[in-house]
Amino acid sequence: MVSHPAPLLFTPLALGPLTLSNRAIVAPMCQYSAVEGVAQPWHQQHLGGFAASNTGLIILEATGVTLEGRISAGCLALENDAQEAALRDLIAGIRTYSAVPLGIQLGHAGRKASCGVPWKGGMPISVRDGGWQTVAPTDEPFNLDAPKPHALTEAEIAGIVEAFVAAAKRADRAGFDLVELHGAHGYLIHQFLSPLVNKRTDRYGGSLENRLRFALEIAAAVRAVWPKSKSLGMRLSASDWVDGGWTPEETAILSQKLEALGLDFIHVSSGGAVRDARVPVTPGYQLDFAATVKQAVSIPVIGVGLIVTPAQAEQALQDGKADAIALARAFLDDPRWVWRAADAWGLTLPSPGNISGRRAKPGRAIG
Tens of pLDDT, residue by residue over 276-293, are 888 888 999 999 999 999
The answer to whether residue 2 scores a pLDDT higher than 60 is: no
285 catalytic, yes or no?
no
If you average pLDDT over residues 330-336, what whole number do you get? 95
> At 350, is the pLDDT very low, low, confident or very high (cuts 50, 70, 90)?
confident
Over pLDDT 70: what percentage of the chain? 94
Residues 6+ apart with CB under 8 A from 129: none
> At 353, is the pLDDT very low, low, confident or very high (cuts 50, 70, 90)?
low
- The predicted pLDDT at position 360 comes to 52
Instruction: Cite the DSSP H helix spans in 32-133.
Output: 41-51, 81-95
> At 364, is the pLDDT very low, low, confident or very high (cuts 50, 70, 90)?
very low
Calpha distance 189→215 (Å, rounded):
6
- The predicted pLDDT at position 145 comes to 84
Calpha distance 267→119 (Å, rounded):
28
Domain 8-351: what homologous superfamily?
A: Aldolase class I (3.20.20.70)
- The predicted pLDDT at position 51 comes to 96
The answer to whether residue 239 scores a pLDDT higher than 50 is: yes
Calpha distance 349→342 (Å, rounded):
7
Among 97, 187, 204, 285, the active-site one is: 187
- The predicted pLDDT at position 171 comes to 98
pTM value?
Answer: 0.94
Calpha distance 114→138 (Å, rounded):
17
Calpha distance 367→64 (Å, rounded):
45
- The predicted pLDDT at position 356 comes to 47
For the packed helices 81-95 and 154-174, what is the interaxial angle rounded to 10 degrees?
A: 30
If you average pLDDT over residues 248-276, what whole number do you get? 97
